Structure 1
Amino acid sequence: MNPIHNDVEEAARFMQAHDRFLVLSHVNPDGDATGSALGVVMILEQLGKEYVVVNEGETPVKFNFLPRFDQLRNLSKDPLDETFEAVIAVDCADESRMGDVRSLFGSGVALLNIDHHPTNDGFGTVNLIRTDAAATAEILYDVAVAAGVTFNKELALCLYTGLLTDTGGFRYSNTSPYVMEIASELLRYGVKPGEVAERCLEEITFAHVKILRLALQSLELSHKNLVASITVRQEDFVQSGADREDAGGLVNYCRNIEGVEVGVSFVESEAGAVKVSMRARDRVDVSAIAKRLGGGGHAKAAGCTIRGTLQEAKETVRLVLEEALGVSSNE
């Protein structure tokens, strides 16, 4: 039995060994985080377990087609007066990505950490970390098999959503033969791929269009045109009526410009905090940059939050990218 299989079996035993769980994903959850958290819920239900599924903040409404979405508890608006001895964290690149939920952990908490980010620091009591996996949902598929649960449309929909979103619609280089095998298997349970793709990848709000129009006016090229960046200021949110969710994905417009190696978005959704998202092609590992700045992610997709002004955040990232690319930002 190989070590990876041992880890999967240990994760399944963790779910079987406890009766009541706190299930959580990372702050500002994406499709893999949300699909994986709700996928864990589907597994726990079949095992006859109790659970509370939470996030520090809002979960994007575009994922409200997923089963048990209405049970996702936003702790910033609906605090929880309970502590848990068994916790399952999914898709959290490091401990800080769990957000302010650790106050819910009991004194002797046992924590199952399931993730695929190379920046994960193994913060769990039990760690199932596979950096070769395209998505946490891919790992959960193996856990579900090991736990002996019955696959159905609800579980399949959660896991398929995670696979679809973290592979960019099966377009990114992390799309492996195994990913496609799992996706094909999940479709057998009634998942409609066109509908999931429409909700997760295609459909946008009008507020997104309005904030995109403002953000594109800030588009800059630097570092010998190897870096493209875009900025969203607080006043842009006010003018457009958009929220932080509407500003998601803007970094891809930078990354997709021909010749650009790194795309960066700077989003100032509140005073004194700038959300930095980075997307890379081949020359730069942006997960290493993000980790240096207190964040995490993948080699080609990563992010962090920098405390300070927009100008300070831009200067910090500019200098780090100079070092990574070996090119002055003024060239």
Structure 2
Amino acid sequence: MIQQEYGRRLGREEWQSFIDILLSAEHIVLTTHVNSDGDGLGSEVALSEVLRSLGKTVSIINPTEVPPNYRFLSSTVDIEVFDAHSEECIQDIALADLVVLLDANLRDRMGGIWQHVDFGREIGKLKVLCLDHHLGPEDFADLMICEPYASSTGELVYDLVVALQEHAGRHLLSSSVATGLYVAIMTDTGSFRFPKTTPYVYAVAGELVAAGADPNDIYDQVYNSLNLSALKLLGAALSGIRLLEHNRVSWLVITQDMLRMTGSKLFDTDLIIRYLLSIPSVRIAVLMVEMHDGRTKVSFRSRGEIYVNEIAAVFGGGGHKNAAGCLLEFSPDKAGKVVLDDVRAYLDQLMKTTAI
């Protein structure tokens, strides 16, 4: 394990209460947020492997399906997709004595899973842990560790594994655990480019590679495994990019018609927002996706000291300083007007005090 310290991290003592609850449970359910990403999925897979090696019964139940480019992670573990009519998922939650939410700090991010978790808590036997690194946590768990300093939830899970190894007195960082954690950290740091990629993160990545994570294969699986429908959607979408506020804001709407015409799915929209922010003059990028029920999923990205999580919070969402989102209860047409008006107002206010 890494001997040299690089800034802030949680030590054994700070993890002890979390570990005590983990190890007192027998049947554990791990879950993450809707529209799961590399950080949530990688963290789940890694932690499930560790807990199983410690003799725990572990199920992974997610509110939405695993995107195709992350399905290689499920080669060693089974990831169930929750459905209100899935007796197997509901039974697993009912039998659990602990649910661990990873990479989210709002109960609504669990989708339809939350009502079953909440019922289990009401009858008295189910506990909830939350491990996350986003801003603006909601107080709903029996114990929450939410550390915004961390580059990713995967970084925190790595520190948890180190603490568990000290507690158990044996090695727990297997090749499959290392792979899950490398995926988590790589994706949430933008392939080690984002501001929270500290020297400690690089040191952790090196430790994971030494433990068996293959950087070349992982990068290829995650970023070079796009299907034809995703590429068709990308082609259809890019021509619709619009610029506002002297080219400081880029925005784009993805409609259900576009998804149907290209044969693509919601998770295929995730790669598009990076193109919105690739224009040098753009400071805030806004991607609006029409959901099948008429609501609008909004994703924000920004550069520098622009806190788009504050914009998302106005609409009941949240996230990171430079990457956030929300779900609006109305159509993209209305969402476009309401959200862009708020973005303009935010930029106007910011420009009075800051050069952007």
Aligned pairs for 1:52-71 (under 5 A) are: 52-67=59-74, 71=78
1:314 counterpart (325, 331, 336): 336
- CA shift, 1:67, in A, is 4.7
TM-score normalised to the size of structure 1? 0.94
Q: Is the 8 A contact 1:113 1:126 kept in 2?
A: yes
> For 2:105 and 2:274, how far apart are their aligned partners in 1?
21
Q: Is the 8 A contact 1:67 1:158 kept in 2?
A: no
Q: Is the 8 A contact 2:69 2:223 kept in 1?
A: no
Determine whether 1:213 maps to 2:235: yes
Tell me the equivalent position of 2:223. 201
Q: Is the 8 A contact 2:251 2:286 kept in 1?
A: yes
- CA shift, 1:119, in A, is 2.0
Determine whether 1:295 maps to 2:317: yes
- CA shift, 1:113, in A, is 0.6
Q: Is the 8 A contact 1:87 1:110 kept in 2?
A: yes
- CA shift, 1:275, in A, is 1.1
Tell me the equivalent position of 1:124. 141
Letter in 2 for 1:48: G
Letter in 2 for 1:15: L
Q: Is the 8 A contact 1:224 1:327 kept in 2?
A: no
- CA shift, 1:123, in A, is 2.5
Aligned pairs for 1:1-331 (under 5 A) are: 4-5=10-11, 6-67=13-74, 71-76=78-83, 78-79=86-87, 80-82=89-91, 83=94, 84-105=96-117, 106=120, 107=122, 108=124, 109-148=126-165, 149-326=171-348
- CA shift, 1:231, in A, is 1.3
Q: Is the 8 A contact 2:273 2:285 kept in 1?
A: yes
Q: Is the 8 A contact 1:20 1:50 kept in 2?
A: yes
SS state of the match for residue 72, structure 2? coil
- CA shift, 1:91, in A, is 0.3
SS state of the match for residue 50, structure 2? helix
TM-score normalised to the size of structure 2? 0.87
Q: 1:291 to 1:68 in 2, by over 3 A?
A: farther
- CA shift, 1:170, in A, is 0.5
Q: 1:130 to 1:321 in 2, by over 3 A?
A: same
Letter in 2 for 1:317: V
- CA shift, 1:69, in A, is 5.9
Q: Is the 8 A contact 1:9 1:143 kept in 2?
A: no
Letter in 2 for 1:113: C
> For 1:68 and 1:134, how far apart are their aligned partners in 2?
26
Alpha-carbon displacement from aligned partner over 1:19-78 (angstroms, at most 9, x marks no partner): 111111111000000001111201211110012210112111211221556511111273
> For 2:257 and 2:76, how far apart are their aligned partners in 1?
31
Q: Is the 8 A contact 1:134 1:174 kept in 2?
A: yes
> For 1:78 and 1:137, how far apart are their aligned partners in 2?
29
Q: 1:51 to 1:17 in 2, by over 3 A?
A: same
> For 2:150 and 2:280, how far apart are their aligned partners in 1?
28
- CA shift, 1:248, in A, is 1.5
> For 1:303 and 1:92, how far apart are their aligned partners in 2?
12
Greater share of helix: 2
SS state of the match for residue 198, structure 1? helix
Any unmatched runs of 5+ in structure 1? none
Alpha-carbon displacement from aligned partner over 1:170-190 (angstroms, at most 9, x marks no partner): 111111111111000010122
> For 1:135 and 1:283, how far apart are their aligned partners in 2?
19
- CA shift, 1:104, in A, is 2.7
Q: Is the 8 A contact 1:223 1:327 kept in 2?
A: no
